[in-house]
Amino acid sequence: PTATPTPTGTIPPPDQPTATDTPTETPTPLPVCEHVVAAGENLYRIALQYNTSVESLRELNQLASDNLSVGQLIDLPSCHPQQPDDPFSCPDAPAGYLVRTVSKGVRCQPVVIADNDKHPLMNAGVEQALNIWGEVAAGVEFCFSGAGTVVFEDTSVTPALATKLATVKKDGMTCAQVPGPGRVVHVAALTDDESIPLTDCQVTTSNVARLLDSPAGENILALVPFNIAMPAQARTANWFLVDILDRSGWVSADMVETEGACE
């Protein structure tokens, strides 16, 4: 008999890997840097919308109050990252003062302001003044220990333009955001023990006010009716020296509204 040939085994080809589509990368959305205030909006609603806090918005925009106007631009923290834990501090700042910034291109130098160069906003006394220049646009924070106010002088114009800056408490210090190159001044806090002169201040009574012979004194000279405007010659922390009906006396700062250079 004829032998039957043994069948040759067939090896199946290996499975070929299936090509997979490369996923399309989703672009990262750009942060929103500004918000335009619409009718009926307030800081609380804006803070909720952008997942931030009212305090952050107030500090970033240097808002003296929470009052907003329609069309006002509000800077948002998403484009202003927090400062590092150890920000650069200007090495020439005197003891008790900090000039903090994220840029090492900022410089500062203590200066002395002559009495005849002091702006009325500095009548309470200058504790310290610093010239600040360099990469100030990167953001600069001026801080000091203790009480007082901060006045900024824009020295790019003549005469220098002086404004009072909003301050916040941070890490036990009083701090203000410096708006640009110029001179930043720590002004002493007002007290009721000493008065400072005023040259361009007017106060108007917001209620019937007592006219006293001294700050917080007991001798009442007169009662000043509501809505009476008077020039103020001097002030303490809580009292104004005013002229009315050919006599001078002191009225409480809580009982008047101010206009002009009354700080």
Taking residues 60-81, report their average pLDDT: 78
CATH fold label, 33-76: Membrane-bound Lytic Murein Transglycosylase D; Chain A (3.10.350)
Banded pLDDT at 81 (limits 50, 70, 90): very low
Taking residues 169-177, report their average pLDDT: 90
Banded pLDDT at 126 (limits 50, 70, 90): very high
Strand partners, 5: none
Give pLDDT tens digits for 9-58.
Answer: 555 666 665 655 656 555 555 566 788 998 888 888 888 788 787 777 88
Write out the E strands in the chain.
Answer: 34-36, 73-75, 88-89, 97-101, 106-111, 126-134, 140-144, 149-154, 161-165, 168-170, 173-178, 182-187, 196-197, 200-205, 209-212, 220-224, 229-235, 239-244, 247-252, 256-261
Q: What is the predicted pLDDT for the residue at 84?
A: 44
In this structure, of 65-74, 75-84, 196-205, 209-218, the range with the lowest mean pLDDT score is 75-84
In CATH terms, the superfamily for domain 196-261 is SH3 Domains (2.30.30.40)
Taking residues 53-67, report their average pLDDT: 79
Phi–psi pair at 55, nearest 5 degrees: -60, -40
Q: Residues spanned by CATH 3.10.350.10 within the chain?
A: 33-76
Strand partners, 23: none
Taking residues 171-197, report their average pLDDT: 92
Q: What is the predicted pLDDT for the residue at 64?
A: 75
In this structure, of 8-12, 173-177, 190-194, the range with the lowest mean pLDDT score is 8-12
Q: Residues spanned by CATH 2.30.30.40 within the chain?
A: 196-261
Beta carbons within 8 Å of 96's beta carbon, 6+ residues apart: 144, 145, 146
From CA 56, how far away is CA 63, in angstroms rounded? 10
Q: Residues spanned by CATH 2.60.40 within the chain?
A: 97-188
Q: What is the predicted pLDDT for the residue at 9?
A: 57
Give pLDDT tens digits for 195-254.
Answer: 999 988 999 999 999 999 999 999 999 999 999 999 999 999 999 999 998 899 999 999
Question: How many beta carbons lie within 10 A of that of residue 67, not counting itself?
Answer: 9
Give pLDDT tens digits for 89-122.
Answer: 888 999 999 998 877 788 999 999 887 788 888 9
Taking residues 131-150, report their average pLDDT: 90
Strand partners, 202: 231, 259
Whether 3 shows a pLDDT value over 50: the answer reads yes
Question: What CATH architecture does domain 97-188 belong to?
Answer: Sandwich (2.60)
Banded pLDDT at 133 (limits 50, 70, 90): very high
